[in-house]
Amino acid sequence: MEQRLTMHIVGGNSRSRASQSRLVLSMGHHAEVYSDLVELLDRPPNDGVIVASEDVVEDGIGALLEEMADHGIWIPLVAAREEPGVDEVVQAIQAGALDFLTLPLTEEELRRMIAHVHNDAGRHAEARRRLIDARRRIGALSNREREVLDWLSEGCSNKAIARELEISPRTVEIHRANMMDKLGANHAAEAVRLRLEVGLEEAKKKDGGGVTPPPARQRGVSSVMLEEVLIPPPQG
């Protein structure tokens, strides 16, 4: 028997919400309906899946997920609209939506989405939690700390970073230590993983640009090269 799922339907007009709700209930699942995002955030759900459409997603999926996270909402988000374009669907998924539904909702489309939720919702929510946490930590860095992290992510040593930034290796060490402390990283590899989880374009949103991409970013850096820089050699 298919596991019963709660769908939190928000956005769009009342007729669309009612239609979605009736279909969900007719298939043996539970529906909660919210007139707008304010009402949803006022009663934060902790299970099921959010189906958001129209005005709720007009500022972008990324912004919506950030706002949900600020209210402690980590359950999967599914976007919905009439005749969505391919680019729109791709952008929504890349921004963190679990799925994209075409309205008006059909039983076939709903079954497909429910199967997706049952298969991937847990992993998806945890990945989103890690991404938002990493983005916030990196957003707390100063510009210089970000520069050190960016060059560190390219496999550069402290001396190499000092040359690129035209500062002393000792100053690099200080910025690096402060950066590690803010990120809560025990070693450089953890800091780099956070940086890679966020991604270059997402990380840039916090400071309006970031540093100029170094040549290594364009040609790629192997994991072996990174390990040589990030993990100090044994002493003695």
Tell whether 15 and 74 lie within a shared domain.
yes
Tell whether 32 and 129 lie within a shared domain.
yes
For 63, the token pair is 């912004």
| Within-domain flag for 77 | yes
| Within-domain flag for 57 | yes
Tell whether 14 and 76 lie within a shared domain.
yes
For residue 204, give its domain range. 142-230
Tally of structural domains, the chain: 2
| Within-domain flag for 235 | no
Q: What is the pLDDT of residues 2-40, one digit of tens each?
A: 688 999 999 999 999 999 999 999 999 999 999 999 999
Tell whether 166 and 216 lie within a shared domain.
yes
Q: What CA–CA distances, in Å, run from 142 to 84, 137, 149, 187, 191?
A: 39, 11, 10, 19, 15
Q: What is the CATH number of the domain that holds 117?
A: 3.40.50.2300
Which of 103, 120, 136 is the last residue in one of the domains? 136
Q: What is the CATH number of the domain that holds 168?
A: 1.10.10.10
Residues 6+ apart with CB under 8 A from 176: 148, 152, 158, 188
d(CA 149, CA 154): 9
Neighbours of 187 (CB within 10 A): 11
| Within-domain flag for 116 | yes
Structure pTM? 0.60
3-state secondary structure of 40: helix
Cis before 233 (ω within 30)? no
| Within-domain flag for 19 | yes
Q: What is the pLDDT of residues 124-160, one digit of tens each?
A: 667 667 777 787 888 899 999 999 999 998 889 999 9
